[in-house]
Structure 1
Amino acid sequence: MTAPSSHRTSAELILAEEPVLAHNYHPLPVVVARAEGAWVEDVEGGRYLDMLAGYSALNFGHRHPALIEAAHRQLDRLTLTSRAFHNDRLAGFAERLAALTGTDMVLPMNTGAEAVESGIKVARKWGYDVKGVPADRATIVVAADNFHGRTTTIVSFSTDETARAGFGPFTPGFRIVPYNDLAALEAAVDETTAAVLIEPIQGEAGVVIPDDGYLTGVRELTRRAGCLFVADEIQSGLGRTGRTLAVEHESVVPDVVLLGKALGGGIVPVSAVAASRDVLRVLHPGEHGSTFGGNPLAAAVGTAVVELLETGEFQRRATELGGILRDGLEGLIGKGVAGYRSRGLWAGVDVDPALGTGREVSERLMREGILVKDTHGSTIRLAPPLTITAEELQEALGTLEKVLTQGS
């Protein structure tokens, strides 16, 4: 057995030719050691403006003082009881989150994928217990090009072969239709359909925004069909688009809302299924659970996140700064940007393929002190912390223009 390489630095371990980490990610070659607000610092002291914000997990920036304070206070009191016992932070967190999202009840979990898995179980159980779907015949309709996580069940209804290949056999019970296509959705729904599960905006697909009226149509269709509308707001929710939830842009109220990422403030993984009592009461003790789900530390941080969102400040910032982002990208059309889609402080930017892949553009931006991440082809995503300043955002846009027009 090879002796541990504890004498090597973190950077050497990470960037080694034979790494100790499983290669399930392809990170940019930067090793972050410290962070504050919208900025991160690498192990050599280099500073970078974070324009990804942990795929929206860092909506409030790195180490937001109110969130760090809440975590410190709770660390000195209690961190975990499991759900075998009550803890004094969880019920208050659930009540505040339910009020924020306009729901009645909350099922706390940890990761976003857990929230999706939990939402699937709840929808199926509701289909059997309430709708009366015959046993083991419940179906859930989803959209092509979705991203809901990478568990075995979730990749079963992915159309991304990178996520699927080599991981079968797959879980049955899902029907895939084109995104933003109400006719196809209506044709797929029948008496076995327990739910329609969609992202109000498809993040991983390149920040794909549906036509006006699509979400309203999904709501009306599911109501007529007697099935649940489950909105995956894990990336799009909690202020990112200028509203608490992205569905609010069409004044739509889903039956079930899935939350994660920003709910943990960039400190601990926190996710939740928020829904009406009529939906979540289908769960009974022993049917679903999580040792860490709803732990006191997570509840304390989650409550502090809800308190920040209750002020409306971050939703306003996303709207106002989103205008700067949109105007800046509009000015880059024909200057290396072939197209873009944006809502609030979130954008998918299609770079002219002649200038390189999204990965290559991300690496050039990194060398100029801006961190973004590519998605498919020549598309990059921009999702800075909602705490970014207008000046910092303009700096990032200026650097993008430099990289696209002058090279780097």
Structure 2
Amino acid sequence: MSWESVLELIKQILVTQTGIPHMTGGAALMLCVGLVFMYLAIAKEFEPLLLLPIGFGIFLVNFPLTPLMGQTEHGAPELIRFFYHYGVEWEIIPCVIFLGLGAMTDFGPLIANPKTLIIGAGAQLGVFVTYVGVLFFGFTLKEAASVGIIGGADGPTTIYLTAKLAPHLLGANAVAAYSYMAMVPLIQPPIMRLFTTPEQRRIKMRQLRAVSKREKIIFPLVGATLIVLLIPAVAPLMGMFMLGNIMRESGVVKRLADTAETDLMNIVVIFLGVSVGATMKAETFLTWKPLLIFAFGLLDFVICTVGGILTVQIMNLFSKEKMNPLIGSAGVSAVPMSARVSNTEGLKADPTNFLIMHAMGPNLAGVIGSAAAAGMFIAMFQ
């Protein structure tokens, strides 16, 4: 074989069997985006359990010719497409995550102070403001609904709703939701200080009453009944959430509760993160809609935070026993991070003012509120 033939063979192999000649500027940019997400997860510890697999999914899928998100010659899904199809498109993973979240959740603060349910509802203000706003930028009704839910700062709910109404926006919506959840300690404090006075931030709330085991067992049953009757579309999410919670509170299936909270949760989070990241290929992500989603997602989250704070201030006008408005920012459902931020800001105003348990009430109410908002959108548009 001549040298010319060998060189031609090498050239053919490079062109047909490697991704080198197929690498584009957009793909290179998305590789950098994936690296940024992994940097935030590893170096800054911003939601590492999700940003790390999401970042690696973005990184991996943007290499050319990778057999990851397409179909084989026999029509079967390729590796990550398999996870995405059966886990996300079939809506299994978000529901399993809610099962794990329920097994982690103590509804005691919400039961002890049921008024905080109103705060969780008020913190959904940004969801509906953003829904209306994005319509003026050419989004369809279903797309606008999927973008609006980002402000609730609930990743599984965002994924669940987007998969139903606007699956082509799944990567952008999910990454925006988890990004802003990760940046709660950076975004919320300036807003909290802007919309409260020093005197309001120093308001002390009396200790919550003790909640009995019987109340904690009854709550998921009553909660599931009311939510599913009023908003049937959200039954898969809230049903799994309350199942996980009653497994926790009953105390008779500790092995099941522990599995849902740890091993099962960890497994589905891996598949979810990689699958969501892998939807962010350069040709679909580097367009005007996904980039606009990030801008509106931030606005959405800010308005939701403001909505929770203003809800507390309005409630204080009609209540003898005042609540600290800082707990209103926890009405977004970034559990428990936003509640910790409320507590941190309270301690800055008064080192003896511990708000963590008071803030957990609105925080848990926000989980229910964002799921309820998603259920309303599903009922309207599906």
After TM superposition, the score normalised by the length of structure 1 is 0.24
After TM superposition, the score normalised by the length of structure 2 is 0.25
Structure with the bigger percentage of helix: 2
Q: Which entry has the higher C-alpha Rg, 1 or 2?
A: 2
Higher relative contact order (CA 8 A, sep 6+): 2
Structure with the bigger percentage of strand: 1
